[in-house]
Chains A and B, each alone.
Chain A
Amino acid sequence: MLKEITKIIKLLLCVFTFEFYFAGFVYAEENKDVEWEHKNAIRARIYQDIADNNELEDDVATDLLFESDNSLWFMSRNLLFKADIEGRIETFEGYDSATDSMFRIKEGYAQFTKDTHTFTAGEKIVTWGKMDDVVILDRINPQDFTRFILEDKQDRKLSALMFKYDYSPGDWKIESIFKPFFKPSAVNYFGSDWAVFGNLKQGVSDGNMAQAKKDIVSAIAVEEQDYVTDNNLKNSEAGLRLTNKFNALDYSFYYMNIRHALPVLKERTATGNLVKQYLYDPSLANLNALEAANPSGDDYILERAHPRLNVVGADWETVIGGYGARGEIGMFWGQPYLREDFSYVEKDVLSFGLGIDHTTANDIYIDFQFIADYVMDYEGLFAQEEIAKQFTGSVSKNFKRGIINLNLDWAYSLSYQDLMLNPVVEYKFINGLSVSFGSFMFMGDSTTTFGAFNSKDLIYAEMKYLF
C-alpha cells in the first residue's frame, strides 16, 4: 500500500513538474501575483583515462547533463512550488561500449510560509553542517556515488521525500524533518569503473581461470535488505536542528535518528566473510581459500546493511581576524564497519572536523579542513584505524574579474596515505557559456577510499551553458 502511495506521489510530482515547466511562464505572466524563477544548464563532459593500467576500464566516457530548476512563487499566499528536473546521457568506450540514460526529479516540493513558520513537503535536498564537501552532520539526504566523486557533494545529493517544519522567530531557528521512508545512497558494486569492485566479475569471466573459479565469482551477489527498501514507516528517519548565534559565533545543535545511507556489506553466513575477503583483495590465494570453503547458496549473498544511527552533534562558524573558522562534531551510535576477518560489526564513533579559510591580499582563496574519526571500543577493523585523520582543502584564484578561474580541490588521508587531486581551469565566455579543463588523480593502496581508483587517472574537458 505504501509503495503504491509513493508511486502516486512521484507520478504527481512528475506531472506537476511538466505542467510547471510548460505552463509556469504563461501562468506567471498572466498573474502578477505569481513569479516564476527558472535556471537551466546544459553541461557536456568528456573524460579520457590517461593511465592505461587496466584493460577493462573505459578509455573515454562522455556525460551530457541537462538541468532545469524552477520555482513558482504565489506571493500573496506565501506559497512556493519547486520543481527541478535532471536528464543525463552517458557513453562509455573501452573494453566494452555502452550507453546509459537517466531522467529524474532532482527536487519537487511545496513550501508554505506563515510569519515565522515554514512548512515544506515533497522531495527535497537539505544541507546541514558547516564543512565543505565532506560529510559529518550533513546526512539528511543520500548521495549518488555511482560516479564516485566526479561531481561535487551538492550535485551528488539525492532528494528524499520529507516533511519539514521550520520555526525562525529571529536570529535563532528550529528545523525539524520527518522522512517517512528510507532512501539509501546509490552505489554500484560491480560492472563499472566506479563500482566498489570495479570490473572484477567481467575480468574473471573473460580471463583464463578454471571454470569452477569463474562460477564462484559469477555467483557472488550484493542485495539490498528487503526491510530497508520496503517503503515502510519502520524505516522512517527524523532530524532536528537548533541554530542560534552568540556575538560573532553562529552555532547549531543536532539530533538525528537515521539510517546509515552508505551501505556496508553484511554476510549471511561465515563463508560470506571469505567472499568479502576476496572482493576487497582479489588475489588468487583468497579465491582459492573461498573455493576451499565449498561455498553455496547464501554464502554468495552479501547484503547492503544500512543500520539505524543515533546522532548528536553540533557545528559552529565565526570569523577570527582575516580568517573564517568553522567546525563540526558528531557522536554516532551504531556506525557499520568490517572487522579484519571481514565480518560485519557496528561501532560507536566520534567524528569532528575543523575548517579554516582565508583570502590573501592578492585574492587567492585558501580553504583547509581537518577531519578525524575516533572509533570507540576499537578492535581490529578492515581499512579503519582507531583514530582516522584526513585533510581536505581547496585553493582558487580568478583572473580578469572571474573570466578565468583556477581551482584545486584535494584530499589526503594521513592515516591511509591516499590522495585525491582535482585541478580545474575554467574560462567563462559572455552569455553563460564556459569551458573547463580538469583532471582527477587518485593515489594510494587499493583498500583505501581514493586508492581503490588509483588506476583511474582522468583528464576531462567540459562545456557548460547556463541560461
Chain B
Amino acid sequence: MKNLIIILMSVCSLFWLPPQVLAEETSALNIMEKVFYRDDGLDSYSKVEMLLVDKKNNTRGRILEIYAKDYSSLIKTFLEFTEPADIKGTKFLSIEEEKADNTQYLYLPALGRSRRIVSSQKNLAFVNTDFTYEDMQRRRPEKDTHRIIADEALNSRNCVVVESVSNDNTSQYSKRISWVDKESDVVVKIEFYDKKGKKIKEFRVNGLEKKDGIWTVTDMVMDNEKDVHKTYMKLLEVRYNQGLGDDIFTSYSLEK
C-alpha cells in the first residue's frame, strides 16, 4: 500500500515506531502500526512540487513524479525530477525489503547509467533538500520503542502524541515525536531530535484530504531549524490503484 509522496510516506513512517513495556507502550505501538499499515493504495502515482527556501527567503522550485507500489514484503518507489532543467532526468529507485537493507539506485544523466548507492548513510541530505535518505525510507514500527506522551489537538485535529526511540541505534535521530491524527492515522507533525537531544527539524502537514477514498497529504513542509532552511512539498496530482506495471521499478527503467 503506497501513498502519494514517498517522502511523505517516509517521513510519516519515521513516526510509526512501537513500544515494549506496558499497555501504554503496546497502545503506542498499535498506533504506529496503524499508521504504517494504513490503506494508502496498492500503488500510486503522484506529481509533486518541491520548493527549497533558504534563510534569506531565496527559493528554488522542483517538480518530481513519484511511482510507488506495494508488494507486501517489498515496497518499491520510483522517483523522477522533471523540472528544472539542471536536475531534470535525475531518477531514484528505492526497494524497501522487510528484513534487509534497502536497495537504492540513482540515475544521473551526466553519468549515463544508474548506480547502486549506499543506503546506510542515512544522515545525508537527499538531493539538497531538508529530507535525509533516512527520511526517504519508511521506518518499520518494530524498529523503535514508542510511548504515548500526550493527547492534544493540532490545527483542529485530535492527535495522539507519540515519542519514538530507536531500538538498535540505527537512526540518525535520538528520538522523534509524532502527532498522529486519530481520524486518518496520518502523522501530521514530527519533531526530530539529534543525538544530543536537541530539536533540529520539524515536519508539518499543512493539507490533508481524502483522494479516491484515501487520506492523502497534499501540502507539507520540512522545517530545518538547525540550518534555517525549509523544504515545502505540494501535491499537484495523485492517482491510486492504477495497476502500475512492475517494469517501472527496475534499474533498467532508470536508464530508459
Tell yes or no: B84 within 8 A of A by CB.
yes
Chain A positions within 8 Å of B59 at CB level: 430
Q: How far is the CA of A37 from the CA of B111 in the complex (A)?
A: 20
Chain B positions within 8 Å of A467 at CB level: 85
Give residues of chain A (421-444) contacting chain B, Cβ–Cβ below 8 Å: 428, 430-432, 434
Prevailing SS type, chain B contact patch: loop
Q: Is the CB of A154 within 8 A of B252?
A: no
Q: How far is the CA of A118 from the CA of B250 in the complex (A)?
A: 14
Q: How far is the CA of A118 from the CA of B252 in the complex (A)?
A: 11
The number of chain B residues touching the other chain, given as a range, is 35 or more
Pick from A192-200, A274-282, A292-300, A319-327 the stretch touching chain B: A319-327
Q: How far is the CA of A325 from the CA of B89 in the complex (A)?
A: 24
Tell yes or no: A207 within 8 A of B by CB.
no
With A154-B111, A248-B103: A168-B117 Cβ-Cβ less than 8 Å? no
Tell yes or no: B88 within 8 A of A by CB.
yes
Q: How far is the CA of A466 from the CA of B52 in the complex (A)?
A: 19
**Of the candidates A168, A428, A430, which one forms a contact with B247 in the assembled complex, judged by CB atoms under 8 Å apart?**
A168
Q: Is the CB of B54 within 8 A of A323?
A: no
With A319-B117, A434-B86: A401-B250 Cβ-Cβ less than 8 Å? no
Tell yes or no: B128 within 8 A of A by CB.
yes
For A32-52 the 0/1 string (1 means CB < 8 A from B) is 000001011100000000000
**Of the candidates A171, A318, A358, which one forms a contact with B250 in the assembled complex, judged by CB atoms under 8 Å apart?**
A171
Q: Is the CB of A324 within 8 A of B86?
A: no
Tell yes or no: B30 within 8 A of A by CB.
no
Tell yes or no: B112 within 8 A of A by CB.
yes
Chain B positions within 8 Å of A310 at CB level: none
Q: Is the CB of B58 within 8 A of A401?
A: no
Least CB separation from B108: chain A residue: A154
Q: Is the CB of A430 within 8 A of B58?
A: yes
With A168-B250, A170-B246: A359-B113 Cβ-Cβ less than 8 Å? no
Q: How far is the CA of A133 from the CA of B255 in the complex (A)?
A: 17
Q: How far is the CA of A445 from the CA of B53 in the complex (A)?
A: 51
Q: Is the CB of B250 within 8 A of A323?
A: no
For B153-196 the 0/1 string (1 means CB < 8 A from A) is 00000000000000000000000000000000000000000000
Tell yes or no: A363 within 8 A of B by CB.
yes
Chain A positions within 8 Å of B120 at CB level: 319, 321-322
Q: How far is the CA of A430 from the CA of B87 in the complex (A)?
A: 12
**Shortest Cβ distance from B159 into chain A, in angstroms?**
31
For A98-139 the 0/1 string (1 means CB < 8 A from B) is 000000000000000000101000000101011010000000
Tell yes or no: B110 within 8 A of A by CB.
yes
Q: Is the CB of A250 within 8 A of B116?
A: yes
Least CB separation from A80: chain B residue: B256
**Shortest Cβ distance from A358 into chain B, in angstroms?**
8
Q: How far is the CA of A166 from the CA of B52 in the complex (A)?
A: 39
For A122-160 the 0/1 string (1 means CB < 8 A from B) is 000101011010000000000000000000101000000
Q: Is the CB of B124 within 8 A of A39?
A: no
Q: How far is the CA of A104 from the CA of B128 in the complex (A)?
A: 35
Give residues of chain B (78-123) contacting chain A, Cβ–Cβ below 8 Å: 82, 84-86, 88-89, 101, 103, 110-113, 115-121, 123
Chain B positions within 8 Å of A212 at CB level: none
Q: How far is the CA of A5 from the CA of B145 in the complex (A)?
A: 70
With A125-B112, A127-B112, A248-B103: A323-B118 Cβ-Cβ less than 8 Å? yes
Q: Is the CB of B112 within 8 A of A401?
A: no
Q: How far is the CA of A41 from the CA of B89 in the complex (A)?
A: 14
The winner among B111, B128, B246, B252 for most chain A CB atoms within 10 A is: B252
**Shortest Cβ distance from A383 into chain B, in angstroms?**
29
Q: Is the CB of B85 within 8 A of A432?
A: yes
Tell yes or no: A173 within 8 A of B by CB.
yes
With A168-B250, A168-B252, A401-B128: A432-B116 Cβ-Cβ less than 8 Å? no
Least CB separation from A128: chain B residue: B113
Q: Is the CB of A132 within 8 A of B85?
A: no
Tell yes or no: B211 within 8 A of A by CB.
no
Tell yes or no: A402 within 8 A of B by CB.
yes
Chain B positions within 8 Å of A127 at CB level: 111-113, 255
Tell yes or no: A398 within 8 A of B by CB.
yes
Least CB separation from B251: chain A residue: A250
Give residues of chain A (372-431) contacting chain B, Cβ–Cβ below 8 Å: 398, 400-402, 428, 430-431
**Shortest Cβ distance from A149 into chain B, in angstroms?**
15
**Of the candidates A171, A319, A431, A434, which one forms a contact with B116 in the assembled complex, judged by CB atoms under 8 Å apart?**
A319
Q: Is the CB of B111 within 8 A of A431?
A: no
Q: How far is the CA of A431 from the CA of B58 in the complex (A)?
A: 12
The winner among A41, A317, A318, A321 for most chain B CB atoms within 10 A is: A317
**Of the candidates A363, A398, A428, which one forms a contact with B86 in the assembled complex, judged by CB atoms under 8 Å apart?**
A428
Q: Is the CB of A363 within 8 A of B125?
A: yes
**Shortest Cβ distance from A301 into chain B, in angstroms?**
37
Q: How far is the CA of A430 from the CA of B61 in the complex (A)?
A: 9
Chain A positions within 8 Å of B117 at CB level: 319, 324
Q: How far is the CA of A354 from the CA of B145 in the complex (A)?
A: 42
Tell yes or no: A1 within 8 A of B by CB.
no
Least CB separation from A120: chain B residue: B256
Chain B positions within 8 Å of A129 at CB level: 113
Q: Is the CB of B84 within 8 A of A432?
A: yes
Tell yes or no: A361 within 8 A of B by CB.
yes
**Shortest Cβ distance from B93 into chain A, in angstroms?**
12
Least CB separation from B84: chain A residue: A432
Least CB separation from B256: chain A residue: A118
Q: Is the CB of A170 within 8 A of B86?
A: no
Chain A positions within 8 Å of B52 at CB level: 401
Tell yes or no: B229 within 8 A of A by CB.
yes
Using a CB–CB distance below 8 Å, which chain B residues touch chain A? 52, 54, 58-60, 82, 84-86, 88-89, 101, 103, 110-113, 115-121, 123-125, 127-129, 229, 246-247, 250-252, 255-256
24 contacts between A and B (CB under 8 A): A39-B89, A40-B85, A118-B256, A125-B112, A127-B112, A129-B113, A168-B247, A170-B250, A173-B252, A243-B252, A250-B251, A317-B116, A318-B116, A319-B116, A319-B120, A322-B120, A324-B118, A358-B118, A359-B124, A363-B124, A401-B125, A401-B128, A401-B229, A432-B85
